[in-house]
Amino acid sequence: MELSVLCLSFVLFLVLGVPVAFAIGLACLATFAVEGLPLATPIQMMVSGMNVFSFLAIPFFIFSGELMLHGGIADKILNFARSLVGHWRGGLGLANVVASTLFGGVSGSPVADTSAMGGVLIPIMKREGYSAGYAVNVTTHALMPTSHNMIIYAFAAQGAVGVIDGHAIRGVSIGDLMFAGLIPVFWIMVCMLIAAYWQAVKNGFPRRADGTSMVERFPGWYAVLRSFVAAVPGLLVIVVILGCVMGGVTTATEAAAIAVAYSLCLTAFIYRTLDRPKLYKSLAKASKTTGVILLLIGVSNMLRWQMAYLEIPDAIQAALLHATQSPWLMLLYINIIQIFLGIFLDMAAHILITTPLFLPLAIQMGVGPVQFGMMLLLNCALGLVHPPVGTVQFVGCAIGNISIGEATKTAWPYYLAIWVAINLVTYVTVFSTWLPSLITGHPVF
């Protein structure tokens, strides 16, 4: 009875167009009422879910990303990429892929990134001879899972225990997650560049309305060097974050705070592109995004409590174990379910809800929390751009003024790139664990 109320009310609220965070919270409250439990309990669950010290890194990472965007750092990264490959077929699309991948590593939520980067790049690409579908796809698919989502996953996986190859598993390190994501994200970026270049050559992008070419002239290596020098301070934000975490002298929260201080000094005193209105806008957007994410975290903790109370994780694990005992097939089932759920759920809610469901099962199959975290984050990335909902793709299509169906017709190379990376992470352990193991000096799973 209680499970039916939880599931049906959640689906009903989603169908009615209620935002996901409120749909989860209202469904949980309805279930608590049916169970006759005190309504103070869900409020306590919600507050305790948000009252975690490591979550202080989330607003810092988001604010750093907003400062990079509104302070002109993102523009300088794009200018460097454009000067380097802008004279190729699809040069602006290639520059878009590189800039969006680099910027996405330290910025806010993927939906906010799409609104910000896509709001600038998609109209420019359409004006300079690229189709709307091409402009939307190269922008939305290049935005990879961001740093603060790794922090959310580390919190969700803190209860992970088990033994893999004789090594005890207890939770997951945020630093290990950050380094584990570098090779998969680089691989996806390369595949995206190949797909973007292939589509540009096939369709003759960029081109004028009469079909003639609009390919830019190479500006010369001196111009490339100048744009690179201008972009280096901005690119160092990523180095600062990874260096602080790798050095072990700071936590992820402190590294995020250092990134904010660095971005603020860079944009205000070196580039001198951050004025008072831009600072206020960055603060307002970072506050809004942080509020949405923390609300999702709070209501998701309510849902996690309800699922544990109703023994839903045990039932799902039993059903999957009954379906197959093969590790590779089990992981395939988990990936398919993750992609399906990612279509409808925001990334933060998706991580918090599904981690306790599937991580214990993955550990039984020999997949550690770091490797599973990369699987989960990449599945979330694919779900966010996959129809029928695909929130990131929806935002990109709204900016490009085209339908989801029109964009999806030419999106298959980008889906394929992410799907290949998901399977490499899933079935080739070293693909995600080799680099953090090398850096830390001990095996990482």
pLDDT at site 54 = 72
Please return the burial class of 202, using the count of CB atoms within 10 Å of its CB with bins 0-12, 13-18 and 19+.
exposed
Q: What average pLDDT does the segment 86-101 reach?
A: 77
- For 120-157, the pLDDT digits (tens) are 678 777 877 788 888 888 888 876 666 678 888 888 88
Residue by residue, DSSP assigns 78-140 as: HHHHHHHHTTSTTHHHHHHHHHHHHHHTSSS-HHHHIIIIIHHHHHHHHHTT--HHHHHHHHH
Indicate if the pLDDT at residue 211 is higher than 70.
Answer: no
- For 375-432, the pLDDT digits (tens) are 998 888 887 787 665 677 777 787 788 887 788 888 888 888 888 888 888 998 888 8
426 CB contacts (<8 Å, ≥6 apart)? Answer: 331, 332, 335, 367, 371, 375
Indicate if the pLDDT at residue 116 is higher than 70.
Answer: no
Highest mean pLDDT of the ranges 20-24, 168-172, 345-349, 416-420: 416-420
Indicate yes or no: pTM above 0.85.
Answer: no
Question: pLDDT averaged over the chain?
Answer: 80
d(CA 68, CA 62) in angstroms, rounded, equals 10
Indicate if the pLDDT at residue 242 is higher than 80.
Answer: no
- For 363-374, the pLDDT digits (tens) are 888 888 999 999
pLDDT at site 372 = 92
H or E segment and range at residue 169: strand 167-170
Give the three-class secondary structure for 227.
Answer: helix
What is the share, in percent, of the chain residues with pLDDT greater than 90?
Answer: 1
- For 98-110, the pLDDT digits (tens) are 777 766 655 555 6
pLDDT at site 161 = 77
